[in-house]
A and B are shown apart, each in its own frame.
Chain A
């Protein structure tokens, strides 16, 4: 079962990369941006076939390693 997860910096945490990318795009003429946040995307193929259990496994991975909960949030965005 394939699970995808996205990790981003928490809403209130400064995202230096997102900020600078936004400035650069603005400089190139993309004037319609409110905000850019950068994150990491993971595709994890787990052996589990039950979606609920697979979700739980990846959630565990996010909590324990993939995300640093001090500054990051995770979101599981797809299971199939």
Chain B
């Protein structure tokens, strides 16, 4: 299975994502933001970091970079595109998924483990996973998901919410919302479910010496789903 990780100026989780994809069997290529064409890929990942320093608005300038046209075309043709953290912000800015990511409610960067609940498994990312609650890791300053009431209705009607912040039992109330996200939303799909944006970093959870191993379950399942 072939994957591509895009490196924008200021990306800093590109290597971590490369390590994770390789570990679970992807043949991964690193792609420079200024390239015109994506290599042939089964999965494209926009990694975390601080593309363009997070200046102006997070993800705003990266969404205008050369490679993004190619990524957008790939997504429109049904290709799998996953944006993690800053990658999610880039997806939002490029209009591939709805909504915006505001500054965290308490105005502080947060780096910690959180639990997330998967609501809908009818998609290539979560299909066949045998549990619903995952322990993932977040590290961000602007992860406070927001959209208009109309958008929210549409998102919910289309089953586009990918994951919610919750506790270890799957309870999704405000107490377990780390950043003020609307309805505890931690990740969303596009309408077709081939584009996924999420704040948590599964690539930081791929070894029991690290923060945990739930990321391994996610990646193993993902490659099997794509095969």
Interface of A toward B, CB cutoff 8 Å: 16-17, 20-21, 24, 27-28, 38
For this complex, 21 residue pairs linking A to B, each with C-beta atoms less than 8 Å apart, are: A16-B53, A16-B55, A17-B53, A17-B55, A17-B56, A20-B52, A20-B53, A20-B55, A20-B56, A20-B61, A21-B55, A21-B56, A21-B61, A24-B52, A24-B56, A24-B61, A24-B64, A27-B64, A28-B64, A38-B55, A38-B56
Interface of B toward A, CB cutoff 8 Å: 52-53, 55-56, 61, 64-65
**How many A-B residue contacts, CB cutoff 8 Å?**
22
For A17, give the chain B residue with the smallest CB separation: B55
- Main secondary structure on chain A at its contact with chain B? helix
User: A21 to chain B: which residues have CB within 8 Å?
Assistant: 55-56, 61
- Main secondary structure on chain B at its contact with chain A? loop
User: B56 to chain A: which residues have CB within 8 Å?
Assistant: 17, 20-21, 24, 38
For A20, give the chain B residue with the smallest CB separation: B55
User: A24 to chain B: which residues have CB within 8 Å?
Assistant: 52, 56, 61, 64
